[in-house]
Amino acid sequence: MTNSGRKLSDLASHLIIPDGIVKTRFPRIAKLAQIAGITYDPWQQGLLTLMYGLRKDGRYACGAGGLAASLPRQVGKTFTFGTAAFLDCLLTPGLKVLWTAHRSRTSDETFASMQTLAHDAKLARYVATIRRANGQQEIGFHNGSRILFGAREQGFGRGFDGIDQIVFDEAQILTERALDDMVPATNTAANPLIVMIGTPPKPGDPAEIFRDKRRTALAGADKDLLYVEFSAPRGSDLDNRETWASANPSYPQRTSETAIARMRAMLSDDSFRREALGIWDKTDIAHAIDPRQWEQAGVSRRRDGGAVSFAIDMPPDRASVAIGACMRYADKSAHVELARFESTGQNGVAWAVDWIAERWARTCSVVIDAQSPATVLVQDLKARGVRVTLTNSTDMGQACGRFVDMLRDGTLHHLQDQEALDIAVKGATKRNIGQSGAFGWNKRTADVDISPLVAITLALHGSCTTHRNPLETRRVIRLP
């Protein structure tokens, strides 16, 4: 049997279904699709049946957890989800749908595809308006329903309310800030539905949200989450057409062999695995920092006699400021702790400049990573006479490596019972930096703030690399 005739359960490499589905709204959509000449393959019917699945109370079974779908390129996601949203608008008066992609180009392509539906002879009479203004693209229906399109990179989605459905396209580039901006728009909707569609993220993508959804689904930790993944088995022959078919349910009937072969010729092996075969990069989800080593390194108070360095970090959403401190001793051992950790919403950021400036005369180094939002403080610190060291990705790899090595060797200690720091350590994973084995810190789930860990890591790095020691007594030689 060809892929086009196979069921969702036969094709999906992972299918996690929410609890409590007793019926579904999809048959009404399917009936209208048939009238409009839209044909769904069995796997698409199965996916939409689950997406529109209802519990006894009439609410969507995945209404709380949402739908997350990890799909290869050229699988027909816009057709599947786009036509369903369009037809649902015809059936449900006053339905308001947001379709958002990370990039304008992707959003524009989806809007163009939807316009084709809107101009279809069987559907056009239901369409009231098509608004094409850049950044304000919209299809309006005579029954009051609307589909609005926009790019998250341009701030689309902020300030909306009463949204019934949100489709997050390019979910592998979905940031926590974008989610915070848009999800509350569904709070006043009677039965909201949130859909995330993406491909496996490439290194460097801000994919914490999408990764967390996948991790949660595979662990069976959210009974309200619908998760679907199409992917070839890891280690498959990249040139084998059966591998292509195992990953893409639309191949070869709807997605041609030429289309996949073009990607194979143009993309690297790693990119082809992600983009065409839906295979997620193998990641280390173990603790980045050994919990036993961290516990053993804890002390109730630091010993004096060392040279002090500081570092500042902020998370991507700029919600907090963390100042890490390191005291390094003559025997090359070191002590780290979280010196300050404050909410920017309550306390702003100016206090951090004052705090550091007051201590600069007795400080060996102040470090901020060049990619951190905390760089906003650099000019103000310099104006106060503070010499700031900016680190790059190479420095970060060295800093994290040194941190782990010293912790393992018993030459690094930390202050016990610092809750924010302990949470950051428990919630940290590793991310690769380059191809040489270097790594940096990453957060295990989207709601973890690892800035306290980054701050103490950079403070240790500064203490080990600086040549400044304001406490050192220097011998002055007077020339005759």
Check: pTM over 0.75? Answer yes or no.
no
462-to-315, 427, 458 alpha-carbon distances in Å: 20, 24, 6
Answer whether the bond into residue 206 is a cis peptide, omega within 30°. no
Mean pLDDT of successive 10-residue segments in the chain (480 residues)? Answer: 79 96 97 94 96 97 96 93 96 96 89 92 94 87 96 80 95 87 90 96 81 90 95 95 94 92 93 94 71 92 91 93 95 95 92 95 94 95 95 93 95 93 88 84 79 96 90 56
Domain count, the chain: 2
What is the secondary structure of 346-379 as a DSSP string? HH-SHHHHHHHHHHGGG-SEEEEETTSGGGGGHH
Q: Which domain holds residue 432?
A: 291-465
328 and 415: one domain?
yes
Say if 401 falls within a structural domain. Answer: yes
Residues 254 and 342 in one domain: no
Whether residues 267 and 360 fall in one domain: no
Query: Are residues 88 and 29 part of one domain?
Result: yes
Q: Indicate whether 21 and 164 sit together in one domain.
A: yes
Judgement on whether residues 319 and 416 belong to the same structural domain of the protein: yes
CATH of the domain at 141: 3.40.50.300
Residue 169: predicted pLDDT: 96
How far apart are the C-alpha atoms of 460 and 253, rounded to whole Å? 57
* Distance in angstroms (rounded) separating the CA atoms of residues 217 and 450: 23
Which pLDDT belongs to residue 285? 53
Same domain, 88 and 173: yes
Beta strand residue intervals within 57-101, DSSP E: 67-70, 96-101
Instruction: Decide: 114 and 150 in contact? Cβ < 8 Å.
Output: no
Structure tokens at 177: 């800030």
Judgement on whether residues 266 and 295 belong to the same structural domain of the protein: no
Q: Are residues 299 and 270 in the same domain?
A: no
pLDDT in tens, 175-202: 888 888 888 999 989 999 999 999 999 8
Do 268 and 301 lie in one domain? The reply is no
The tally of CA atoms less than 13 A away on the side-chain side of residue 161 is 3
Do 253 and 310 sit in the same domain of this protein? no
CATH number for 318 = 3.30.420.240
Please enumerate in sequence order all residues whose Cβ is within 8 A of that of 9, keeping only pairs 6 or more positions apart, or say none: 15, 46
| DSSP-assigned beta bridge partners for residue 314 | none
Residue 480 located in a structural domain:
no
pLDDT for 2-46, tens place per residue?
676 789 999 999 999 999 999 999 999 999 999 999 999 999 999
Assigned domain for 478 exists: no
Q: Please indicate, yes or no, if residue 144 is contained in any of the structural domains.
A: yes
Question: Same domain, yes or no, for 307 and 269?
Answer: no
**240 part of a folded domain:** yes
